[in-house]
Amino acid sequence: MKTLFLIDILNMKDINAIYSFENGDLVINQLKKLLETQIIALIRKKINKKILVELTNTHADVFQLLIYDDFKIDEILEIKNLIFEHVINHPFKLHNYKTSINIDITMGCAKSDDHLILVYAEKALHKAKVNFIHYMYYDAYLYKNESISEDLLDMLNYNIENTLVEPYFQAIRDNKTDTVVKYEALMRLYDREGNILLPNIFIHKSKKCRLYTKLMELLIDKIVAYINQYKLHISINLDYTDILNPNIKRSIVSKIRKNNIGPYLTIEILESEKIANYNIVNDFISEVKKYNVKIAIDDFGTGFSNYEYILNLNVDYIKIDGSLIKKIDEEIYLNLIKSIVQFCKQQGILIVAEFVSDLKILRYVKAIGIDYSQGYYISKPLKIEDIVGEKK
């Protein structure tokens, strides 16, 4: 398996026009040197293993960084962030100018074991450009050809008809005892070859095709069965639209009541700018709390981050978003996270740090008094068989 990053200098024509083609070439050469020395070395250090990396300057302002390894999505994002931050913060020197300039880049990424990896990465780069964002990942499993997106509807029905919808479980660990206390359930589907489809691929399409409710029903049924069988403490994710959906809401409450699983269940509500009526959210929380269900606010720090509405919601946990946690070693983010921790302590709300991807982050998280940790350093998402095996 290979992972390919395409790194494209934004507005290269402007650099050539303003500073001359000679300086444009100088910028490209400096970027090449930065990539092949510092950045590749940092990537190797980050993943902490020997890997083969090839750097190619395919077009004047586009570089291919090909890594011979099969990375998880979280690892790909870490490498992307490493490349992006080092490039945009690097001072690029110019002939006949005393001051240096900074450049901006757009990146496309794909991973695959076939010869079409460059096609996938180019599609990702194109999508990033047309959407005016600095990065896009293109899933090779889903987009093996242009018709596959149309086949996604068939895949959704295939998963529903064969009850293939499956929760994968990511551990949440107590930072004081270093023991796993619960698992977050993450929805996974499969294509006909048995490859896993991740939520960013199918969630939007399933909602558009009015199949999302059926997927959620199947997922919840399996979670209920696993709780009953193994007495695991499990978190499930709901967003505002799920709570608004009377079928999903009715189904969840009914299954909790009939199976008496409330004490084993935490419902994570995604903090979102889409939340327009907190009374509806509060009514839902009050309903499930009757059955001893715990409530968490997920991804805190990315939406409103409104402390006032947290005070008006009866929540047990706040999960600090990974976009903050992964920058916890930067003073500005550390201070922001400390303020969230202080607020939660005052209100008697427990705190979970998401995206704990290495030991350094874990040490910061523990040092400032965060109660729980979740992320790839703790555990990747696992099938139920792997969880039960670990518990034996």
Eight-state DSSP code of residue 262: G
Give the angle 56-118-40 at the CA atoms, nearest 5°: 40
Give the tokens for residue 193: 């070859």
Single pTM value for the model: 0.65
The DSSP line for 264-277 is GEEEEEEP-TT---
* Residue of 90, 62, 85, 87 lying closest to 5 (CA atoms): 62
135 vs 127: CA distance, rounded Å: 9
Q: Which amino acid is at 303?
A: G
Question: How many other β-carbons are positioned within 10 Å of the β-carbon of residue 49?
Answer: 8
Residue ranges of the chain whose pLDDT lies below 50:
144-148, 304, 391-392
Q: Where are the domains of the chain?
A: 2-139, 148-391
Length of the chain: 392
Write out the E strands in 127-255. Answer: 135-139, 166-174, 180-190, 196-197, 234-238
Eight-state DSSP code of residue 355: -
Q: Which amino acid is at 186?
A: L
Cβ-in-10-Å burial (0-12, 13-18, 19+) of 205 comes to: middle
Q: For residue 239, how many C-alpha atoms fall within 13 Å in the half-sphere facing its CB? A: 12
pLDDT score for 305: 52
Give the tokens for residue 24: 């444009």
**CB 297 within 8 Å of CB 304:** no
Separation in Å, CA 59 to CA 56, 75, 202, 240: 9, 27, 33, 45
Q: For residue 218, how many C-alpha atoms fall within 13 Å in the half-sphere facing its CB? A: 19
Name the CATH superfamily, with its identifier, for domain 148-391: EAL domain (3.20.20.450)
End-to-end Cα spacing for the chain = 33
pLDDT score for 143: 52
* Residue of 57, 171, 71 lying closest to 112 (CA atoms): 71
294 vs 61: CA distance, rounded Å: 52
Q: Which amino acid is at 319?
A: K
Question: How many other β-carbons are positioned within 10 Å of the β-carbon of residue 186?
Answer: 17
The backbone region for 299, taken as left when phi is positive above 0, alpha when psi lies in -120 to 50, beta otherwise, is left
* Residue of 105, 104, 103, 112 lying closest to 76 (CA atoms): 112
CATH of 2-139, one of 1.10.10.10, 3.60.15.10, 3.40.50.300, 3.30.70.270: 3.30.70.270
107 vs 83: CA distance, rounded Å: 9
pLDDT score for 164: 94
33 vs 25: CA distance, rounded Å: 12
pLDDT score for 303: 55
Within 162-233, where are the H helices?
A: 199-208, 212-230
**CB 187 within 8 Å of CB 167:** yes
* Residue of 4, 196, 32, 197 lying closest to 119 (CA atoms): 4
